[in-house]
Amino acid sequence: MSLRDLPAFLVLLLALAALPAAAAAPPAPGPAPRRLTLEAAVRTALRQSPLLAAVVHERRAAGEERRAALGRMLPQVTAYADARRQSDPTVVVPIKSFNGPLPDFSRDQYQAGTRIRAPLFHGGSLRARLAQAAAGDRAALEGLRLTAQRLVAEVTDAFNRVLYLEALVRAQEETLSALEKARADAALRLEVGRIAPVELMRIDTQVASQRQALIQSRESALRAREDLALLLGLDPSAPPEAEGRLLPAPPAGEAAPDIEAALARRPDVRQAERRVRQAEAALRAARGRRLPALDLVGDYGRRAGSGFEADEEVWWAGVALSFDLFTGGTVSAEIRKAEDQLRAAEERLREARLRARTDILHARSARREAEHRLEVAAAARRTAEETYRIEQLRYRTGAGTVTDSLLAQSAWLQAKAAELAAIFDHQRAAVAERLALGLIEAGPPATAAGDGETPERTASR
């Protein structure tokens, strides 16, 4: 099964599903599974990557900021209680009439109750703060999508690199085995005097060189698996193995990509757009401070004197108007600051659009280059393979030399390695193109064929 069958919403679904678990405690790196398919690797990364988990928390924080901004628009109710002792006795409760009895006096005053303040008009600053928080929340969501898309692309590239290096190791092992057989055959020929000792020495040199290359490739494959474990949030001391084969990506179409549609999909561009809206709302909020603020206020409670005597309820209600007459230039400075931040956000949006267009064009060019390189590498490998077969036949019949056979074998190995590298680069270019077009969430192109799958079946999906 390939990631082309992955549902389009898998990235966000798995990332958002991690919210409750991430809130409890960050998961410790667990033991890595022995073998992973590409789809399983992506699922593991979306579930356990610490980088994605950090962005999930940032997204939650932005959501809480939005709820806090909404709460500031609602009535605020505060409970209070105080006890004080004064220098002179004062009335516990206000005088209610001139003809009634005098109220109680006491130096000790106790009071408890609730106060309410409901905003009626704040120059639009409260609504602007809510719009600012909402835009920040949506920007954080786009940041989560961007991180998830990049994580999927990085995991796919790392997984394909493991497959590439493992295929290279297998090719080098086959070459080393063939060289060792050739060395044994040359030793027999030397015993009967059919070759010179120098020819056996040349084979020994080639065997030693091949063993060194094999050691290097094996260690490179191990490091690639450790890098994959890091992306998956697993313990790199027990890296997983990649299951599948490295196959060329489906060929790119001739039609030029719809750049405007890609810009509308790309989360980095959408995030920059949200940042502009956030800055616009921040500017409206700053300008709102120049207008008066009107609140509905009220108080309800009970007062008592010494020994809690003359305990009565008291209340009041009204409106409160406030207006900043002089703030030392603070409001004007905040407005200028918000204006500059808006201009900066607009320039970042313009830069994001330009960068996105450049990414798309570069990715398209790299895809074409990788396809041409793959065609040339495949043709060169077929030619080198046939040349090696001919030289081996000539050597066995006595018409060729060991040197010619070794040179042909070395060229064949280099051609196989070049073809594997071209396939890996082709896959990486395909993933980069899908990332540039904002299509990673639909699943990267087919990269690995599982047991029982053929390259033809995988490429036809």
State phi, psi for 266 to the nearest 5 degrees: -65, 125
Q: Which of 5-9, 73-77, 170-174 has the highest mean pLDDT?
A: 73-77
**pLDDT-based confidence at residue 351 (cuts at 50, 70, 90):** very high
* Model pLDDT, residue 31: 55
Domains of the chain, CATH where assigned:
33-47+125-296+338-437 (1.20.1600.10)
Residue 293: φ, ψ to 5°: -115, 135
For 72-94, b where at least 16 C-beta lie within 10 A, e where not — what string?
eeeeeeeeeeeeeeeeeeeebbe
Rounded CA-CA distance 202/338 in Å is 75
| Digit-coded pLDDT (tens) for 80-122 | 999 888 888 887 777 666 666 677 788 888 899 999 999 999 9
Which range, of 91-100, 125-134, 381-390, averages the lowest pLDDT?
91-100
d(CA 318, CA 71): 22
pLDDT given for residue 97 in this prediction: 61
Angstrom distance (rounded) from CA 410 to CA 164: 19
Only one residue has tokens 């900066």, namely 344
User: What average pLDDT score do residues 238-256 get?
Assistant: 85
Q: Is the separation of the CB atoms in 311 and 303 below 8 Å?
A: yes
Q: At what angle do helices 50-71 and 10-17 cross, to 10 degrees?
A: 70
Collapsing DSSP states into helix, strand and coil, what is residue 91? Answer: strand
Q: For 130-134, 423-427, 435-439, 440-444, which range has the lowest pLDDT when averaged over its residues?
A: 440-444
67-90 confidence digits (pLDDT tens) = 999 999 999 999 999 988 888 888
- For position 460, what pLDDT does the model report? 29
Predicted confidence band at 459 (pLDDT cuts at 50, 70, 90)?
Answer: very low
Tell me the pairing of strands 241-242 and 293-304. unpaired
> What CA–CA distance (Å, rounded) separates 267 from 5?
22
Q: Residue 415: pLDDT above 70?
A: yes
Return the structure tokens found at 190: 């030397």
- Measure the CA–CA gap between 243 and 286, rounded to whole angstroms: 57
Mean pLDDT of 184-212: 82
Strand intervals (E) in 122-193: none
